[in-house]
Amino acid sequence: MSYVIIGTAGHIDHGKTVLVEALTGVKTDRLKEEQERGISIELGFAAFKLPDGTRVGVVDVPGHERFIRQMLAGVAGIDIVLFVVAADESIMPQTREHLAILDLLQVKNGIVVITKADLVDEDWLELVKEDIKETLAGTVLEDAPIVPVSAVTGQGMDRLHKVLVEKIEETPPKVATGKMRLPIDRFFTVTGFGTVVTGTLWSGQLRVGDQVEIMPERINSRVRNIQVHGEDVAEAVAGQRVAINLANVEVEQLHRGQMLAEPGLLTPSYRMDVQLKLIKSVTKPLKQRARIRLHLGTAEVFARVNLLDREELVPGETCLCQLLLEEPIVAARQDKFVIRTYSPMFTIGGGVVIEPVAQKHKRYRQEILEQLATKLKGSPAELILQHLSQQGKLEEISGIAESLSLSREEVQEAVDNLAQEQSVENFVYDGLTFVIAGDTKEKLADELVELLSRYHEKFPLRAGMPKEELRSKMFSSWSARQFNAFVSMLESDGHVKIYANEIATKEFKVSLTDRQEQIVKSIVAMLEEKPFLPPGWKEIMAELSLTETEATEILGYMMRNGLVEKVSDELVFAKSAVERAKKMLAKYIKEQKTVTLGEARDLLGSSRKYVLPLLEYFDQIKFTKRIQDKRILF
């Protein structure tokens, strides 16, 4: 791979910083206090380049127990860990705590480095190796190579370098195709540039000019400049340690624990569904509602543990639970985390995020536990089916991928397989691929057809139900694109017919009763008898003894079928009369350039009562245009 992040872990004063300096030539104790006290208070960074061009970033983390928070900030996102044990002291308390954290975070790719090998004899060194092997048994580093070195004399450094190169070659690249996320671990101001944040790019890509969002505060910003290993670059990819110059952000707005992400990608949450494991070496169970410290990425927040299937979690066991956070945090599915006791502080467990923005759950609900278990370990196909069933709507491929933290390719492949099994249906609309669970589609289709049938029964003279009315009654939580895609799918399948803005069942046809046919003929005759002096609509209703509802439905039918045009609330003209008036006015305006209200009245042989509404109607449909007291053709 082209970029690798290496992290150190181990007890205080076991030689991590000296080891990093021997590997890179860089002294990572950059703060004055660090140099005076000889320990790393904050994260230290260094970089070097391998002969094949691979750039290696090294994160040197503090070892003192008070600085575990900083250690967690460094270990998040690393590819290889150098697990450091001093030969003259062997395994110490913080050695075990760091190992527990690596185990919880599943950092499996590591090398055990025994430092200060020049300070002990061979027999003692062998005892230390045995002690290390016993400690690592059953952990992620059980099979890690053990390399004794002395950063001072150079003993073993060549072998360490060789083993390190082998590990780097075995390390798979981080996924660069996902959405951009970067946990912020440092921030500062550079004179002449402004605010700078640093961190390891967890996923995706970041380019100069990109719009970004600082979460959970939702601070909008723009990338002005990017540096990787001290060099300006136009683009950074997953796996790189980067320094980012941000626009429109003050350093006072920043704190460790924030996440830089694509705008709209993440949602702050006070509640997360997780799988939690309690370390076997912990001396007492974790009680229901226990207050703990949650460490995720570079963030640390207080939370309470809501155990969903028990009253306490026994050391060494794993359970499904919900974390109730005292401050909002952002995360994604499958993110790893660690928990520590509230006071005194020591690591007791950790796990993986199942649902970063969770709903409130009742405890001891089997269906909830089964849903969470599927989300945790289900295949992409199982996750997609569960997601579609829970959402109960049509979903776009990219939206499914984002919701489930899967790649678009994984979702597409799973959807294709599910479609072959007829578990889901997919449909291309507006250039996008939409998917819906098969049983959900049939259920919604049946409900929609039933709703339309009732509508046709109530309004038999209407071509169909208005789209927006249908959407508001059945699909109010759907976007317009989802709704339009779904009804287009149903039309393609033969369930419905779609007109411009109306939807009807496939079988429905507008048909008049004998009485209604006679009423329509009568209205047309009454309007055509004196085309430009027609009776008012209320007069027609009274003449034909029409109720308000009946009159409204018949008028709507006649307008949709091109028999009449309604020019005002009270005035209706025969369609033939309107077309005749248009021709007469057009001919007159072409000859005379304009027409006045009086001229139009005389031309049509009518009166102001009828001609004024007719001219205003023509203005409205953009046939004519009024200029002061005259009109021209539009």
Tell me, letter by letter, the H, E, C secondary structure of 426-475: EEEECCEEEEEEHHHHHHHHHHHHHHHHHHHHHCCCCCCEEHHHHHHHHC
Distance, CA of 109 to CA of 140 (rounded, Å): 8
Residues in the chain: 634
The answer for residues whose C-beta is within 8 angstroms of residue 409's C-beta and 6 or more apart is: none
Query: What domains can be seen in the chain, in order of their start residue?
Result: 3-170 (3.40.50.300), 181-255 (2.40.30.10), 269-370 (2.40.30.10), 378-511 (1.10.10.10), 515-633 (1.10.10.10)
Q: What is the pTM of this model?
A: 0.70
Is it the case that residue 528 has pLDDT exceeding 90? yes
Distance, CA of 615 to CA of 573 (rounded, Å): 12
Give the residue carrying structure tokens 């499904």: 320
Distance, CA of 197 to CA of 147 (rounded, Å): 35
Query: For residue range 577-598, what is the model confidence (pLDDT) as tens digits?
Result: 999 999 999 999 999 999 999 9
Give the residue carrying structure tokens 């649902």: 355
Q: Report the candidate in 93, 52, 42, 92 with the shortest Cα–Cα distance to residue 72.
A: 42
β-strands 299-307, 312-313 pairing = unpaired
Residue 271 contacts residue 325 (beta carbons within 8 Å):
yes
Residue 610 contacts residue 571 (beta carbons within 8 Å):
yes
pLDDT confidence bin for 441, thresholds 50/70/90? very high
> b/e map of 253-283 (b: 16 or more CB within 10 Å)?
ebebbbbbbbeebbebbbbbbbbbbbbeebe
Query: For residue range 548-561, what is the model confidence (pLDDT) as tens digits?
Result: 999 999 999 999 89
Residue 78 contacts residue 59 (beta carbons within 8 Å):
yes
Of the chain, the percentage scoring pLDDT greater than 90 comes to: 68
What is the 8-class DSSP label of residue 118? G
Distance, CA of 198 to CA of 236 (rounded, Å): 12
Residues pairing with 427 in the sheet: 434
* Residue 223: strand, helix, or coil: strand
**Cis preceding linkage at 216, omega within 30:** yes
**Cis preceding linkage at 93, omega within 30:** no
Average pLDDT estimate for 434-452: 95
In this prediction, residue 42 carries a pLDDT of 44
Across all residues in the chain, what is the average pLDDT? 89
What is the 8-class DSSP label of residue 308? S
The two structure tokens encoding residue 20? 């990093």
In whole angstroms, what separates CA 137 from the centre of its chain? Answer: 39
In whole angstroms, what separates CA 502 from the centre of its chain? Answer: 33
